[in-house]
């Protein structure tokens, strides 16, 4: 599922980034561009990140 349409980032990309140590939406923005354009994906990205980090 696409989370960030501006940068074509999927929930899988976010989970992967979380596994590789990304711990904030800001960091996701640096790595994937999430939330750096229109910002609409930020809250969705945050909840996926939170979920990913709590499931390991």
Rounded-to-integer distance, Cα 43 and Cα 32, Å? 15
Q: Are strands 9-10 and 2-4 parallel, antiparallel or unpaired?
A: antiparallel
Most distant CA pair in the chain, distance: 30
Smallest separation, CB 54 to ligand FES (Å): 22
Stretch that binds ligand FES, among 11-19, 20-28, 34-42, 47-55 (CB under 6 A): 34-42
Rounded-to-integer distance, Cα 1 and Cα 44, Å? 11
Among 40, 47, 51, 53, binds ligand FES (CB under 6 A): 40
Nearer to ligand FES, 32 or 56 (CB): 32
Q: Which residues bind ligand FES (CB under 6 A)?
A: 4-7, 34-41
């Amino acid at each position: 599922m696409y989370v960030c349409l501006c940068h074509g980032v999927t929930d899988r990309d976010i989970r992967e980034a979380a596994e590789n140590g990304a711990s904030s939406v800001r960091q996701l923005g640096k790595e994937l561009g999430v939330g750096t354009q229109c910002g609409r994906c930020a809250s969705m990205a945050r909840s996926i990140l939170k979920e990913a980090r709590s499931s390991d």
